């Protein structure tokens, strides 16, 4: 085959099989190696490799042989030294060298022998390629053409010459698929089979509706609108809860589209399946009310406990059938969508139940005196309803208010009871020493058969047994083989146990105090501000001098503290030396006596003792200082 002919045929095969070039080349080379081994009878232990030229189609075979000096016994495994040195000039006798060993008629032999191997390798490469491709498509929508259909499933031709299977339970009920119809479906599962990948498709799964919404609604695809939950009964009805991730976006309107164009395209794809788009709400009452749509809801009353979350939905008489739906379909979908067990009642039925609760529960009646007073009116309205007499809108309003009062108070009573029970359990657990929960039950000196019964019941520690005895002793008493004597033995064994004191928690290491600050950076310089005001920009933690009782009283009353010159006058004030250590900036512009303070001389007038007072000025919002000049009466000049 000429060069161009082989290259054209090779590229055509790559395009037809949709395979990578290196995959096909590797398959052909492996087939040639197998053909060579079969043609010459080479051992599988001998290293053999083949090289294909994609342009010419020529295959060259190389084999590993032992170097001999002058006599070749088996040309399949031996090569002369002279021939070996053409490949490796440093070859010596006894070395192993890879040399070309293509047979003279290998082209014809390879064409006959390697055909089946090449086809098998290409089929394996196709299957592997299909498997990898469709494993990435799990959960995504694929398009295909119906090839065959029967009572069990429908076969659909997909890309890459793969086939998908759609079981009948994954088809939309009522939908009839015809041969050569192009349909879309979501990939549910991909399994590796003997004849290639087994691809399971579905049009009934809720993820099919999710992907259709992503394709039709750009806001969902880009994450502006988020699908919170989907509840679907294929071919009949579906409910979708959506919410917006950005303010100012209407999620329901984005999904419906202008004049419903977006949702109608999805409805047509789903064989006219009705779709309700509702807005998700974090408040379960609002969320459940919207999930019951298109019915109008009078009230939603939630009971959330460990066993089940139940929502009682009260609707008007004319909305009852709409809220329940055909065969309970609307209520089922709302329950799946919200995750709550929904109990739908008409207003008259809910009023009758509320009336019975009020009459049977004295505690509830004592809490609702207004509702008790309205009992005769409610009974009269219910009697009219039973006799099919007309009821006025005002009477319906009275029934709704009555139900709302009773149900809300009932829920409050249940929540209070749950809270009290939780407090009781918490108190009981606090009474049990913490170390008891780490002590195995073997340390309790009780009879062997009692110990075996408790162990089989799941009591492994002393703490768990003590906790159950304090909260609900009937659980232990109800065990097979446990009676009053056994309970007495258990209580005596637990009473005899001494629990070690828990180790005290080590106190944190004391924090070292900061060194005194001579000149805080946060304090404004005196020359940068008016001389009359000394302001502190930020409070700085400094080392404080001991405070006397009188100083503390003055500080509590927000009175100025008098500052005197030396320690002898510091009975009711702060010594000047100590104040300078704390606030040196106060004296930067003040005239004072000449004395040594922190090793520096302060020049001023001699012989005068001047007191300085500090006070927080509320109008200025700053700390100010003033000098007091004693001139008979109390006169003061602000500094």
Per-residue pLDDT of 430-476, as tens digits, reads 888 888 888 888 888 888 888 888 888 888 888 888 888 888 888 88
pLDDT in tens, 15-65: 777 677 787 788 778 888 888 888 788 888 888 888 888 777 778 888 888
Around Cβ 349, how many Cβ atoms within 10 Å? Answer: 16
- pLDDT confidence of residue 609: 46
As a whole number of angstroms, the distance between CA 623 and CA 628 comes to 16
DSSP string, 46-96: S-EEEEE-TTT--EEEEEEEEEESS--S-TTTEEEHHHHHHH-TT--TT-E
CA–chain centroid gap for 509, Å, is 39
- Give yes or no for residue 570 having a pLDDT over 50: no
- pLDDT confidence of residue 615: 63
- pLDDT confidence of residue 528: 43
**Confidence band of 81 (pLDDT split at 50, 70, 90):** confident
Per the DSSP assignment, residues forming a β-bridge with 635 are 629
As a whole number of angstroms, the distance between CA 585 and CA 542 comes to 13
386 Cβ neighbours under 8 A, 6+ residues apart: none
Count of alpha carbons within 13 Å of 314, Cβ hemisphere only? 24
Name the CA dihedral angle for 492, 497, 501, 503, rounded to a multiple of 10 degrees.
Answer: -130
- pLDDT confidence of residue 76: 81
Residue ranges of the alpha helices (H) in 95-189?
Answer: 106-113, 115-135
pLDDT in tens, 517-566: 444 443 344 344 433 333 333 443 434 444 444 444 444 444 444 444 45
Per the DSSP assignment, residues forming a β-bridge with 277 are 240
Q: Specify the range with the lowest mean pLDDT, choosing from 117-121, 171-175, 492-496, 541-545.
A: 541-545
As a whole number of angstroms, the distance between CA 52 and CA 39 comes to 18
Whether the Cβ atoms of residue 587 and residue 501 lie closer than 8 Å to each other: no
**Confidence band of 238 (pLDDT split at 50, 70, 90):** very high
**Confidence band of 275 (pLDDT split at 50, 70, 90):** very high
Task: Please tell me the pTM assigned to this model.
Answer: 0.61
Q: Is 249 helix (H, G, I), strand (E, B) or coil?
A: coil
Around Cβ 456, how many Cβ atoms within 10 Å? Answer: 11
As a whole number of angstroms, the distance between CA 185 and CA 311 comes to 36
Structural domains present in the chain = 3-121 (3.30.1480.10), 137-204 (2.40.50.140), 432-495 (1.10.150), 526-638 (no CATH)
- Give yes or no for residue 516 having a pLDDT over 50: no
Please compute the mean of the pLDDT values over residues 129-152 and round it to a whole number: 91
Q: At what angle do helices 115-135 and 3-17 cross, to 10 degrees?
A: 40
Per the DSSP assignment, residues forming a β-bridge with 362 are none
Phi–psi pair at 242, nearest 5 degrees: -130, 155
119 Cβ neighbours under 8 A, 6+ residues apart: none
Whether the Cβ atoms of residue 50 and residue 32 lie closer than 8 Å to each other: yes
Whole-number mean pLDDT of the chain?
Answer: 79
537 burial level (CB within 10 Å; 0-12, 13-18, 19+) = exposed
Q: Beginning with the edge strand found earlier in the chain, give each strand of the sheet holding 237-244 in spatial order.
A: 225-233, 237-244, 274-279
**Confidence band of 123 (pLDDT split at 50, 70, 90):** confident
Please compute the mean of the pLDDT values over residues 228-253 and round it to a whole number: 94
As a whole number of angstroms, the distance between CA 405 and CA 411 comes to 10
Count the residues in the chain: 639
Q: At what angle do helices 106-113 and 115-135 cross, to 10 degrees?
A: 50
DSSP state letter for 328: G
Q: Specify the range with the lowest mean pLDDT, choosing from 44-48, 291-295, 495-499, 542-546.
A: 542-546
- Of the chain, the percentage scoring pLDDT greater than 90 comes to 33
């Amino acid at each position: 085959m000429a060069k161009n002919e082989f290259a054209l045929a090779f590229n055509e095969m790559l395009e037809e099989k949709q395979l990578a070039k290196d995959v096909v080349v590797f398959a052909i080379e492996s087939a040639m190696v197998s053909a060579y081994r079969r043609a010459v009878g080479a051992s599988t232990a001998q290293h053999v490799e083949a090289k294909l030229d994609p342009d010419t189609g020529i295959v060259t075979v190389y084999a590993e042989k032992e170097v001999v000096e002058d006599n070749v016994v088996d040309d399949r495994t031996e090569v002369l030294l002279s021939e070996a040195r053409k490949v490796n000039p440093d070859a010596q006798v006894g070395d192993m060298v890879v040399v070309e060993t293509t047979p003279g008629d290998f082209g014809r032999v390879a064409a006959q022998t390697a055909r089946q191997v090449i086809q098998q390798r290409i089929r394996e490469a196709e299957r592997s390629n299909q498997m990898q491709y469709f494993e990435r498509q799990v959960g995504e929508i694929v398009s295909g053409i119906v090839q065959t259909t029967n009572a069990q499933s429908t076969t659909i031709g997909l890309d890459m010459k793969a086939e998908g299977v759609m079981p009948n339970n994954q088809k939309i009920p009522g939908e009839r698929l015809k041969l050569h119809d192009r349909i879309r479906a979501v990939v549910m599962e991909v399994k590796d089979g003997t004849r290639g990948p087994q691809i399971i498709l579905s049009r009934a799964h809720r993820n099919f509706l999710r992907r259709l919404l992503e394709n039709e609604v750009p806001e969902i695809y880009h994450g502006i609108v988020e699908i919170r939950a989907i509840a679907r009964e294929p071919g009949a009805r579906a409910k979708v809860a959506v919410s917006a991730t950005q303010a100012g976006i209407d999620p329901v309107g984005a999904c419906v589209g202008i004049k419903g164009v977006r949702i109608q395209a999805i409805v047509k794809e789903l064989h006219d399946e009705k779709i309700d788009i509702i807005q998700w709400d974090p408040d379960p009452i609002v969320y459940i009310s919207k999930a019951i749509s298109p019915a109008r809801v009078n009230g939603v009353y939630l009971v959330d406990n460990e066993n089940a979350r139940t929502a009682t939905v009260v609707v008007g008489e004319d909305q009852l059938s709409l809220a329940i739906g055909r065969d309970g379909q609307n209520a089922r979908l709302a329950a799946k969508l919200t995750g709550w067990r929904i109990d739908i009642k008409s207003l008259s039925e809910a009023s009758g139940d509320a009336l019975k609760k009020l009459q049977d529960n004295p505690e509830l009646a004592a809490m609702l005196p207004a509702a008790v007073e309205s009992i005769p009116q409610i009974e009269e309205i219910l009697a009219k309803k039973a006799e099919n007499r007309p009821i006025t809108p005002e009477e319906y309003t009275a029934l709704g208010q009555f139900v709302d009062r009773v149900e809300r108070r009932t829920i409050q009573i249940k929540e209070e009871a749950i809270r009290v029970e939780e407090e009781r359990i918490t108190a009981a657990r606090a009474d049990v020493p913490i170390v008891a929960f780490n002590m195995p039950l073997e340390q309790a000196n009780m009879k062997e058969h009692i110990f075996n019964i408790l162990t089989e019941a799941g009591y492994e520690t002393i703490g768990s047994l003590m906790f159950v005895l304090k909260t609900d002793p009937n659980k232990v008493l109800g065990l097979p083989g446990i009676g009053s004597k056994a309970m007495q033995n258990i209580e005596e064994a637990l009473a005899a146990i001494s629990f070690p004191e828990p180790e005290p928690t080590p106190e944190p290491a004391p924090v070292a105090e900061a060194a005194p600050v001579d000149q805080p950076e946060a304090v404004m310089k005196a020359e940068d501000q008016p001389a009359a005001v000394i302001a502190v920009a930020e409070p700085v933690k400094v080392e404080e001098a001991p405070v006397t009782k009188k100083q503390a009283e003055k500080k509590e009353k927000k009175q100025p503290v008098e500052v005197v010159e030396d320690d002898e006058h510091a009975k009711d004030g702060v010594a000047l030396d100590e104040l300078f250590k704390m606030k040196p900036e106060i004296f930067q512009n003040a005239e004072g006596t000449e004395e040594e303070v922190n090793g520096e001389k302060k020049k001023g007038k001699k012989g005068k003792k001047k007191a300085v007072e500090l006070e927080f000025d509320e109008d200025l919002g700053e700390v100010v200082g003033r000098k007091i000049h004693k001139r008979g009466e109390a006169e003061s000049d602000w500094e």
